[in-house]
Every structure is written in structure tokens, then in C-alpha cells.
Structure 1
């Protein structure tokens, strides 16, 4: 039986045990999508007041080790999301119940109606709210300027093509996903098989505790 979730009464990141990733990893590439409009909702998501990444301290330290290993071989991480407030997840659930947007559907869920995303891709609770999960991709910086590696789909693409081991991607795309997975696994992160970008640090420091501190 799954343990019942516990909702924290923390009011600040420090009270929740969350630390800023940039303080742990100076120069980390952050592309926090829910703090802007380049995401599946088409707007800034509730709870994201700044484009910052917070994680529990042991998770941030582990991600630092991934980044340092990658930098040594001419690669880097680009982070799309980290800790996610409970209120942001509630925003997603409201969005599922709203009317379709043709441009958003083409970009993020071309083969599914919005209501079909509920439960399959969007749920009332997210592990991100526990502070041990990150969404990210891999950058190639060997030539100087960094560029994202081809992973076969964009971030937050709600489709089986985004499954980490999808049989329908090219060998190059599969190899790029595997590089990311191997680097993350070496430092304690485990992939969610439905999403090539989604990793959780294990064992989770507080696996049942959900936070609603705004990202600011």
C-alpha cells in the first residue's frame, strides 16, 4: 500500500530543506520552462515567480557531481524543472479541464485530447513537489558554444515517442538518451521510463512530504 502523502507547512525554501542549485553549481544552465510561457500551458505557471531551481540538499549535491563529470568531457546539463510547488500541480489539473488550443496541441499532445492527459501524464500529485526530481537534457559543448543533443522529442511531449526506450527514435537519439541516463544513474538518479527527461534521486530523502513553497 502506498503511504499517504504529507503536506509540509514550510513557508520558505530553507524551512523545506531546499537549496538553490545555482549556489551549489555555479554556471548551471537553467531553462525553467514553467516560469515563462514556453511550456504546455502557454503561460507562467502558478507558484513560479522566478526562473530558479530548488532541490533538497543531497539531491543538489548529487546533481553537481553529474554536472562536473559532464563538464570534464565537454558536455553539460540543461535543467527544465526541479522542485515544483503543489499549487503548480493544481494549475496543471485545472488546465486539463480547459478548452483545447490548436497550437499547444500540435506542440505538446498531438495525438491526445486534453482530458486524456489526466492520470496518464498529469496527476493531482507530483514527485517534483518532494524536491528530489529534476527534468533535464544534455548539452554538447565540445565545439565551444553549447547545443542541446537531439533527444527525439521536445521536453513535455505527451506521447509514447518520449518514452526513454521508444523503438521509434533514431539510433543517434537513442544514444543521446542513453548518455544522459548513464551519467545520471552513476550518481543515484533513476529515470521515469515514460519521459526521457525525468529523473528522481534515490533513495529519496523525504519520499512522502510535499511542499508548496513558491519558487522565487
Structure 2
């Protein structure tokens, strides 16, 4: 009888322990990062001579901090867009120039970061450089910020031209004095690109590709970029001299959100 009672107590204890284990909260498993579909490539694998200065991986942009989704400073594009850039690069190399990209594929989470920043009217950290003549309250209305971006479809690139041999560009130091993006090239933040009249991501009408106030060598540089990329199959956004989209887009209606990282391309599918 004693052994039977002991066995019952042991069974009850085991049952209670199992019940407690079942009721205990379980650790939450992190969801795997979304992956790029077949058809996306790293630009460096297709056109290794194109210079890359991925601004949104750094704090030197209109937000003033690294942007959500940029885990590595790499340019990712759809394969047709990357191959078209390679064709344009070969044309420019023969003339002593190189392309330089500032941004390529942009995840939706990065666009969402831009939207949150634009709605925070108290954050004016980078206004003196990137939008000195535009009230932040008008960024949506004037079209500088939107809730969707063609970059998220994978065939749009922000790009400029560099005269070879390329000189190094010094890194941006957060908190340093800011100069308007439309100031003379020798006064604004140094960039090893040719002079196109404004810096990249300058929220100003002077950034319109064919703005009549941009003349001489600055206009010539914009037209060299425009003509070279159009011959390779790209279309320019008239409001931004640096913004080009390859046509036809492989994913014209899809806005992706996989991180900017080589792992997005190489992880098993």
C-alpha cells in the first residue's frame, strides 16, 4: 500500500510538472528576413567598376541617420537594370568617366522610415543641407516624400558621373556645419562626382534635370548622364537629375521589403 501511494504521488508530481511546462511562455522565434526573388543581383557582380556610395547606409542623408533596411552598403538591382548600367558604364569608361550610384533597390521599410521622419516636423537636423528653401511641412505636398517609391520595385537607381581617376570622398562627420546642396561645388559637401549644379537628394527645383538655370558645364554633365542612360534603356524622372528607372521593369507592380544585404540574395529559397 505504501509503495502504491508513493507511485501515485510521483505520477501526480510528473503530471503537475508537465502541466506547468505546457503553460509556461515559450520563447518567440524571430521571423526569417524576407528574401529577394529570383531576378535580383548585386551590381558589383555584374558591373564591378561602377563606384558605389550608398548614402542611406550612412548618416549623410536628409534624415541624418542610417535608414531602416540598409544592413550593408551594397547596390541590389533587378538583373536587367544591372546589365543596362553595365552597358552605360562601358560607354562612359571610353570617355574617361565612371558611373557612381547613391541608391538602388530600396526596401519598403526604408520608405516607411522616410514617411515617419517627414511627419516629425520637429526634426530639422539636416535641413540646412538638403532642403534649406522648402518647409518640411510641404515635403509630401511638393512630392519630395511619398508612401511608395519606384526604388522598391528594384529597377530604379540614383546615379551620377565621376571623372577618372576617381578621387576619394571624405566621410561625413555627424554634427559638422551644413552647406546648402545648391551652393557652388567648392563650398558644399565634397563629392568626387562631376558638377551637376546640386548635390544628390537636393530638395529644390534646381534639381529638375532640365532646369533652365543650370547652364554650361553643369548642364553638359546632366545631359551626358541622361543621354548615356537613355541609350541603355533608362528613363529619367524630370524632377531629379540623378533618378533613373530601367524600362520595361521586371516587377512593375511589386514593392519589395527584403533588406539591403547580400544575404537577401544568397540565403536558400
Q: TM-score normalized by structure 2? A: 0.73
Query: Quick one: distance in 1 between partners of 2:97 and 2:231?
Result: 15
Query: Quick one: distance in 2 between partners of 1:109 and 1:197?
Result: 16
Query: Quick one: distance in 1 between partners of 2:138 and 2:240?
Result: 17
Partner of 2:196: 151
Query: Quick one: distance in 2 between partners of 1:101 and 1:212?
Result: 25
Partner of 1:29: 51
Unpaired runs of 5+ in structure 1? 1-9
Do 2:121 and 2:137's aligned partners in 1 also have CA atoms closer than 8 Å? Answer: no
Query: Are 2:146 and 1:123 aligned?
Result: yes
Partner of 2:211: 166
Query: Structure 1's 158 and 12: CA in aligned 2 closer, same or farther, altered over 3 A?
Result: same
Do 2:107 and 2:259's aligned partners in 1 also have CA atoms closer than 8 Å? Answer: yes
Do 1:16 and 1:211's aligned partners in 2 also have CA atoms closer than 8 Å? Answer: no
Q: TM-score normalized by structure 1? A: 0.90
Could you list the runs of 4 or more consecutive aligned residues of structure 1 that deviate by over 4 angstroms after TM superposition? Answer: 100-103
Say which SS state the counterpart of residue 128 (structure 2) adopts: helix
Give, in angstroms, the shift of residue 197 of structure 1: 0.1
Give, in angstroms, the shift of residue 103 of structure 1: 5.0
Query: Structure 1's 16 and 105: CA in aligned 2 closer, same or farther, altered over 3 A?
Result: farther
Partner of 2:237: 192
Query: Quick one: distance in 1 between partners of 2:260 and 2:237?
Result: 24
Give, in angstroms, the shift of residue 27 of structure 1: 3.0
Query: Quick one: distance in 2 between partners of 1:76 and 1:158?
Result: 25
Query: Quick one: distance in 2 between partners of 1:145 and 1:137?
Result: 13
Partner of 1:97: 119
> Looking at both structures, which has the greater relative contact order when contacts are Cα pairs under 8 Å and sequence separation is at least 6?
1
Query: Quick one: distance in 1 between partners of 2:223 and 2:70?
Result: 30
Unpaired runs of 5+ in structure 2? 1-32, 168-191, 262-269
Partner of 1:11: 34
Give, in angstroms, the shift of residue 203 of structure 1: 1.3
> Where is the strand percentage greater, Structure 1 or Structure 2?
1
Q: In structure 2, which of residues 213, 220, 223 is the aligned counterpart of residue 175 of structure 1?
A: 220
Query: Quick one: distance in 2 between partners of 1:74 and 1:26?
Result: 16
